[in-house]
A and B are shown apart, each in its own frame.
Chain A
Amino acid sequence: MEKDTTQKLVEYFRAQIREDPDVASAVAAIRSLLEFLKRDQSETILGLRENMTKAIQRLEETDSSVAVSSGGELFLRFISLTSLEHPDLSQCKNVMIERGELFLKKISLSRGKVGKLCHTFIKDGAKILTHSSSRVVLKVLENAAADNKRFTVYVTESQPDSAGKLMAQKLHNLNIPVTVVLDAAVGYIMEKVDLVIVGAEGVVESGGVINKIGTYQMAVCSKAHNKPFYVVAESFKFVRLYPLNQQDVPDRFKYKADILKTVKDLNQEHPMIDYTPPSLITLLFTDLGVLTPSAVSDELIKLYL
């Protein structure tokens, strides 16, 4: 019975992503969790929470990105962060569902907020370097282009999935001049660019970010050339991790979900993400505002404590 419901959940999640490829995976996950909450049959609040936690775990197994994990946890906290003292369980559930809808509405708007904040930092004639394919960065560049700013973009190819080429295609559709460069050419191209903007899969407690492999390299290069390194991320990507170095990032985020299940010796696999420490990041653009890396911890304390 339980397997059935979680199976339905995963299917719903996959359907969401298929229908709207532009939606953030965390938003899709939260939508599915809300559906799950509506259909849940438990008798007690504790049982409800347990089912929700299990559902989040199941979703993490499907899509091992950091955003799904952080989004799920924040969702759970948000809906239970209210007085659930009603004697009737269905009343409590209604309150939770209401909060869930509110949360979903807020985060659907977050990408737009980030875009509005960041595009003012792109000056006319700027040369921008970005990494792999990020929908938030795309939104930012879209807003900047709509503001009649002229700029050129360099995108790294971002192997092994060549996501950069996808990004280049999308930018081309927006009539923005774009060039695809090799991952190895980041150091070479750094002197030509004015600023670097990347997205994030997760923002950690120290103010650092977890993003597609190759981001750390780009950050180190930009620091060496004294170019500003900006990160754009929505607030539901804030996660309660504190990695000290690359090795400290948990394995369940580093590799894709199906590889974690099938492969025995993870040392032979290529990790999909890396960790960029806060000392290399200039500013973070979030829907909570423009933050310095040290302010991220402040916001996290507010969100989580």
Chain B
Amino acid sequence: MMLISAAMTLVVGHELQSAEPKEEKQRLRKEKKQHKKNKKDDRGPPEKEKEKEKASVPAPSKPATQSPAHKAAPVPVNASASESPVAAEKPAKSKAELRAERRARQDSERASKQGKKEGGQQSTSSKPKATPNELQPVVKRLPDHVQVDDPVALKKLAKKLERQQKSGQGCSLNITGVKVPLRSDYGYKVSLFSHLHQYSRKNPPTQQISIPVTVIHPSIVRLGLQYSQGIIAGSNARSVALLHAFKQVIQDYSTPPNEELSRDLVNKLSPYISFLSQCRPLSASMGNAIKYIKKEISNIPSQCKEEEAKRILQECIDSYINEKIILASEAISKYAIEKISDGDVILVYGCSSLVNHILCEAFEKQRKFRVIVVDSRPRLEGREALRRLVKKGIRCTYVLISALSYILPEVSKVFLGAHALLANGYVMSRVGTSQIALVAKAYNVPVLVCCETYKFCERVQTDSFVSNELDDPDDLIVTRNGKTHLENWQTVKSLGLLNLVYDVTPPDFVDLVITDLGMIPCTSVPVVLRVKNVDQ
């Protein structure tokens, strides 16, 4: 599995690799590995780990956070679990020498650790690998899952997934069982976006998982499938579904002997999260929800009984959903309704659950307004919004985004939903939102963005390229009168289909952001983040 993906990435990423001799070295090593694997196919994982080591040694220095994190995993997973970045910087030394060195160092340190255990000594003895990492300056790199065109990064990711399923199963190293599948990319990617994943809906990640599933909880598998097929869409819906699935996981969880719930459960959740991000990249709201859950789990006191702890966690999740999503939307509606006056013509884009809720509430409060719903291919989410609003009895008009400049002179306000609000005030939302904000600005129409505070994220982005999501390119193909023109688009070498999901809108185009804390200008997002961090 790993070899196939490695080979594929070589093919895909070949022309992007700049250093030729580095490529050569890697390819030679891969061949050696394949050779060895064919010969020693029946051997156990310890051998496999040695080969992984060999392949990983020449790799560039890993992010410092990985090795200390894996130190937390059960002790028997030793030599291979942490790659020493110090060794990586000296490829001249032979691998056997390095391995022997490392093992000797570990043995001596373990011996000294046994001796000094009463002294309660910290860093140097217990984390030999961590100290060289800490001494080096922490280099912030793009997370691995973003660098799709880098074969080294992909290999790292594959290894990480394998490791996760192993550590999730406890101390045994002999299980060559189910892996968290690494989904392969589909189709030609436009070069500007080649660092992003592009999956096909026809190859769901669950195809590679055997039944019964041993590593991943079935509700998570179902959730992943629902995400990847687009059955659950919209950031609020995805977060709520995620939290409900986690509730089920916690319910079915039982602490293994000699383990603490607070630490083990967090480790159990990691392969699930990797699986879900393989199905569909995590949204900012999901990321914040996961951070919250992990914090709550690690705050469970160790003397707490399992039943009690589970009950506490279920309550935490329920209160999170209630406060941050349901009550927040009530508060936002209250503020937003003040901004809707009689005779308004309101423009909305796509289907935002929050904006729909606001308009329905305003209609119930007897405000007289009409709505123009703007929609765009290929998702055509506006139709769902239109359905909901018309059902309520609101007068609606439906246009495609190409007619935007035609209807904007009639519009008095624009209400937009958001997927996330970034720390520099940029609004990340469905693709097409920044276009609407731009044209509205040109016509001097006020643009109001409605967003709950749990969607605020610390990331900073100034363009839509660096971090985005690519949807299935086959969605762009349309069949009319029995004719599908783009049917064989893959055969045309110079043709690429780009199906972007998100874009970012600069704060100059947004007049007002309505959050559950009140109405703030777009530039005050870092203030809210600061206040929230102080609260926590």
Contacts and interface: CB of A to CB of B under 8 A. Distances in A.
Interface of A: 205-207, 240, 242, 244-245, 248, 278-279, 294, 297-298, 301, 305
Nearest to B507: A294
Contacts of B527: 297-298, 301
A294 B511 contact: no
Nearest to B519: A242
B511 A297 contact: no
B512 A294 contact: no
B446 A206 contact: no
A305 to B, nearest CB: 7
A244 B448 CA distance: 9
A214 to B, nearest CB: 20
Interface residues of B, number: 17
Interface in B517-532: 517-521, 523-524, 527-528, 531
Q: Which of B448, B511, B521 has the most CB of A within 10 A?
A: B521
Interface of B: 339, 413, 446, 448, 508, 511-512, 517-521, 523-524, 527-528, 531
30 contacts: A205-B518, A205-B519, A205-B520, A206-B511, A207-B521, A240-B518, A242-B512, A242-B519, A244-B413, A244-B446, A244-B448, A244-B511, A244-B512, A248-B339, A279-B508, A294-B521, A294-B523, A294-B524, A297-B520, A297-B524, A297-B527, A298-B524, A298-B527, A301-B517, A301-B520, A301-B524, A301-B527, A301-B528, A301-B531, A305-B531
B485 to A, nearest CB: 45
Contacts of B511: 206, 244
Contacts of A245: 446
A294 B518 CA distance: 16
Given A205-B521, A244-B339, 4 more contacts: A244-B413, A244-B448, A245-B446, A305-B518
Give the 10 A-B residue pairs with the shortest CB-CB distance, closest first.
A244-B446, A294-B523, A297-B524, A242-B519, A298-B527, A206-B521, A297-B521, A297-B520, A301-B527, A244-B511
Nearest to A245: B446
Contact of A206 (B512, B517, B528, B531): B512
A73 to B, nearest CB: 14
A39 to B, nearest CB: 34
Contacts of B520: 205, 297, 301
A65 B528 CA distance: 30
Nearest to B339: A244
A29 B107 CA distance: 79
Contacts of B339: 244, 248
A205 B511 CA distance: 11
Given A206-B512, A244-B446, A278 B521 contact: yes
Nearest to B528: A301
A278 B523 CA distance: 12
A301 B524 CA distance: 9
Contacts of B531: 301, 305
A242 B512 CA distance: 8
Contacts of A297: 520-521, 523-524, 527
A242 to B, nearest CB: 4
A244 B440 CA distance: 13
A207 B520 CA distance: 10
B422 to A, nearest CB: 15
B150 to A, nearest CB: 38
Nearest to A296: B521
A248 B524 CA distance: 21
A298 B456 CA distance: 16
A278 B517 CA distance: 21
Nearest to A208: B521
Nearest to A292: B523
A207 B508 CA distance: 14
A284 to B, nearest CB: 14
Contacts of A294: 521, 523-524
Contacts of A248: 339
Contacts of A205: 518-521
B18 to A, nearest CB: 42
Contacts of B518: 205, 240, 305
A45 to B, nearest CB: 25
Nearest to B523: A294
A301 B530 CA distance: 11
A14 B106 CA distance: 85
Nearest to B522: A294
Contacts of A206: 511-512, 521
A218 B531 CA distance: 36
A244 B519 CA distance: 11
Contacts of A305: 517-518, 531
Contacts of A240: 518
B516 to A, nearest CB: 12
Contacts of A244: 339, 413, 446, 448, 511-512
B427 to A, nearest CB: 16
A298 B517 CA distance: 13
A259 B508 CA distance: 37
A295 to B, nearest CB: 9
Nearest to B413: A244
A75 B106 CA distance: 67
B307 to A, nearest CB: 38
A37 B277 CA distance: 60
A279 B446 CA distance: 13
Nearest to B524: A297
Contacts of B508: 279
A27 B495 CA distance: 70
Contacts of B512: 206, 242, 244
A248 B446 CA distance: 11
A207 B528 CA distance: 16
A269 B398 CA distance: 38
A30 to B, nearest CB: 24
A240 B524 CA distance: 15
Nearest to A277: B511
A74 to B, nearest CB: 16
A303 B413 CA distance: 29
A230 to B, nearest CB: 20
Contacts of A207: 521
A205 B527 CA distance: 14
A244 B514 CA distance: 12
Contacts of A298: 524, 527
A273 to B, nearest CB: 19
A265 B263 CA distance: 69
A244 B512 CA distance: 8
B159 to A, nearest CB: 45
A278 B511 CA distance: 10
Contacts of B521: 205-207, 278, 294, 297
B333 to A, nearest CB: 16
Contacts of B528: 301
A236 B339 CA distance: 24
A301 to B, nearest CB: 6
Contacts of B524: 294, 297-298, 301
A281 B417 CA distance: 28
Nearest to A301: B527
A82 B478 CA distance: 65
A298 B508 CA distance: 17
A279 B441 CA distance: 13
